[in-house]
Amino acid sequence: MIVLVLNCGSSSAKFAVIDAVTGRELVSGVAQRVGSAQATLDFKVEGRKESRLLHGAGHERALRAVVELLDELGVAHEIAGVGHRVVHGGAKFSGSMPITPAVVAKIEECIPLGPLHNPANLLGIRIAQELFPALPQVAVFDTAFHQTMPSRAYLYAVPYEWFAKHEVRRYGFHGTSHRYVSQQAVKQLGLDPEDHAVVTAHLGNGCSLAAVRNGASMDTTMGLTPVDGVVMGTRSGNIDPSIIAHMKKALHCTADHVMDELNRNSGLLGISGLSNDMRTLQEAAAEGHERAQLAIDKFCYSVAKAAAGMFVSLGRVDALVFTGGIGENAVDVRARIVELLGFAGFALDAHANAFHGKALRGRITRTTSPMAAVIATNEELMIAMDTAEIASAHGHVEAHGQAGAAPAEGAGDAERPAAERRAFA
């Protein structure tokens, strides 16, 4: 089954057309700077990259341009379903759902929990329903995978009424990535499908770790919103909540302004004063930029400390798996994190780490050490697979293959080299 995967943000619309059976990516791209005079449609097909001006297009015009492109490439008629990434499903969704008016209403109810993402996700759903009225459409939630967390993991130590009346709790994000990578870890690393304990570390511009036991999330680092947890590209990660009130007074500003600073101007960017890009910081640190080095050190310490906490959540660890843009590509960052976890017995295989574990099916630690590995994420494929499975379950027949069938191990990776693969969040 051929699926169009959409991820609409406030100023962008990412897309990919994927064969959910084989994992092959036919075309992918992003409409960037949507709503501005500099709006562009950038895409990749058959290994070549192209870019087109959209001349100030809003989301609707941008998505129509995507459909026109797909028609021009001869793939639009093959699309049999549309899968949407939805960031916040609250506690209302524990799995992917066929999009119905009732599901849309519940996503709207989650807007107070996801004000930065859900409105754009909903806009993408509405436009896609207009563009593809006859196709099944499926919502895949970042938060759904973490609904298996026990209460001791998801509750905050605040007045219980905040949870009962206002839904204040840990929800977690990057669930689609954590689900995909933990499943691939079982296959690629030879873990017991019925008895495994894996910590997945999704490290990109947004970062989170998850503790996964036997395919179910037991704990994660992000919280009510994606700003919680470890240090990220522009997000602070966890801080003393009193900082918000303190800086509101110090800056004579609103709480919203402080939150915007914590979301957009903190993390690696905030500490370094230079960039949120790990590659840029590593280059600057090599040239003696002290704050760039400090940002890298803080990042590695934050991730290692969180990983140790995830070990506690599981009671043991069979594998620590790195994924995401930083996790898949930053050799020195992985090395430092593994070094910081030396107290738990982790010992790096420097040669394997230098090649991102590709020679050892992902493994980057010595055979006498607890296992750490690198496995590329593929959220788009996971969304496509969910869409195919749900479409099949609801009676939509696909002539090109068996909907929902599991792809071959690592399916889709040949078409997308690790350095070019990008996570959605």
Extract the annotated binding site: 7, 14, 85, 202-206, 277-279, 325-329, 379
CB atoms near residue 193 (< 10 Å): 10
Helices (H), 173-266: 175-189, 242-251, 255-264
d(Cα 352, Cα 356) in Å, to the nearest integer? 6
Q: Which of 19, 142, 318, 349 is catalytic?
A: 142
User: What is the DSSP secondary structure assignment for residue 365, as one 8-state letter?
Assistant: B
Which residues are CB-contacts of 106 (< 8 A; sequence separation ≥ 6)?
Answer: 89, 92, 93
Tokens in use for 178? 């954590």
Q: Is 349 a catalytic residue?
A: no
Binding annotation for substrate? 85
DSSP letter string, 142-169? TTGGGGG--HHHH--SS-HHHHHHH--S
Sheet of 197-203: strand order equals 216-220, 207-213, 197-203, 319-323, 371-374
Tokens in use for 350? 């420097």
Q: Report the DSSP pairing between strands 79-86 and 2-8.
A: parallel
Tokens in use for 333? 């960052």
Nearest 5°: CA angle at 200, between 338 and 386? Answer: 155
For residues 31 and 49, the answer to whether their CB atoms sit within 8 Å is no
Rg of the chain's alpha carbons, rounded to an integer?
21
d(Cα 58, Cα 231) in Å, to the nearest integer? 32
Q: Phi and psi of 302, rounded to 5°?
A: -60, -45
The torsion of the CA quartet 351, 354, 359, 361, rounded to 10 degrees, works out to 110
Strands (E) in 325-408, as ranges, are: 371-374
Q: Which residues carry out catalysis?
A: 142
